[in-house]
Amino acid sequence: MQELGRLEDLPESYRHDLTAQNLVPLWPSLRAVLPPGKPAMRTQATCWPYQGLRPLLLKAGELTPMEKAERRVLVLANPGHGLEKMQASSTIYLGMQLLMPGEWAPAHRHTPNAVRMVVEGDGAYTTVDGEKCPMQRGDLILTPTGLWHEHGHDGDKPVVWLDVLDLPMIYYMETSYVQEGKRQTVTSTEAERAYQQGGVAPSPLFKRSDKAFPMLRYPWVDVRAALEALAKAQPDIEAVQVAYVNPETGADCQKILGFSALMLRAGETLKLPARSTAMVFHTIEGGVKVSSDSATFTLAEADTCCIPGYTPITLSNKQSSQASFVFIADDAPLQKKLGVYEVRT
């Protein structure tokens, strides 16, 4: 492409006059904001091993009481964006949150959408809009925009979960804020059981649910069973993968970020096409090697990594005799709504 004029090519007096009027010439920066053929990536391939961060998270539990933290979280920050920006990619925030026995993280609601992937422990719960959701390892729990939610812990060991939010996007749009609330009254529990059987949905007196988020908890025991059933029913399927969806509409369970679970069969290697989305991989069970053109990570159980978009990715199950299971997050729902989603072959 033709080289364009530089800012320093312009007379200093002219540049001063532009600045005085809050004006900036486009052409010196045009190639930066519209690079040829492929976006310029700030997101870097980054890995956060759980065994490295876990002691630091537990130390945070000793150093900072809940009343001084509100949410005791260590943010998984991508150096490409600057650690102070607290983002894993341009649209995704990741954090490891700790709740100690007997603690209660007070009720609030906020504009960013969030999900919680339980990493370790049991006995904790999240109450969302009056529904008490038990938190067991591998469970995915939604805390969507505008819904009151709080976390409690009735067990006797630490509980850790991975927070995934669209906070960078909401913050960029200048629409990010939080409201504090009171302890909720529990009105239901394990409501997801109403959608336990695929292909059928509750319709009392011929009425269907009009809730924007009819299912808030996706138990890992059910998701794992669905993956195993899919692998058995379709042994030649290209990838044993299921999406977390709204059971009433079939659409993604949230509007900006998308989530799925992948089963890598024993010894399997899977090649993913180059998609426009950055992708987060978190190992629920087993061990997985994640390879891209810029980095290779070997993920043990509970490890997390982020790979930038527009790059092919290869996933390899490190276990030769049993399956490994991976949780995946990306911003494909947002990109599809904006018309910028791509798959390059």
207-234 tens-digit pLDDT = 999 999 999 999 999 999 999 999 999 9
Per-residue pLDDT at 197: 86
Kindly report whether the global pTM for this prediction surpasses the value 0.85. yes
**Rounded distance between C-alpha atoms, residue 209 and residue 248, angstroms:** 7
Domains and CATH numbers, the chain: 46-344 (2.60.120.10)
Tokens encoding 36: 């040829």
Tokens encoding 3: 């080289």
Smallest CA-to-CA distance from 332 within 272, 283, 278, 293 is with 278
Instruction: Provide, rounded to the nearest whole percent, the portion of the chain with pLDDT above 70.
Output: 100
Smallest CA-to-CA distance from 87 within 176, 167, 170 is with 167
Per-residue pLDDT at 208: 93
Residues belonging to the chain: 345
Confidence category of residue 145, pLDDT binned at 50, 70, 90: very high
**Rounded distance between C-alpha atoms, residue 151 and residue 72, angstroms:** 11
Residue 7 DSSP one-character state = G
Residue carrying the six token digits 């276990």: 319
Sheet holding 46-48, edge to edge: 46-48, 304-307, 279-285, 324-330, 258-264, 240-243
**Rounded distance between C-alpha atoms, residue 171 and residue 87, angstroms:** 11
pLDDT tens string 307-341: 999 999 999 999 999 999 999 999 999 999 999 99
Q: Is the pLDDT of residue 152 over 90?
A: yes
Residue 29 DSSP one-character state = G
Three-state secondary structure call for residue 238: coil
Per-residue pLDDT at 198: 85
pLDDT tens string 93-122: 999 999 999 999 999 999 999 999 999 999
Per-residue pLDDT at 34: 95
Amino acid, single-letter form, for residue 178: V
In whole angstroms, how far apart are CA 173 and each of 13, 137, 166, 177, 257?
Answer: 34, 33, 11, 11, 16
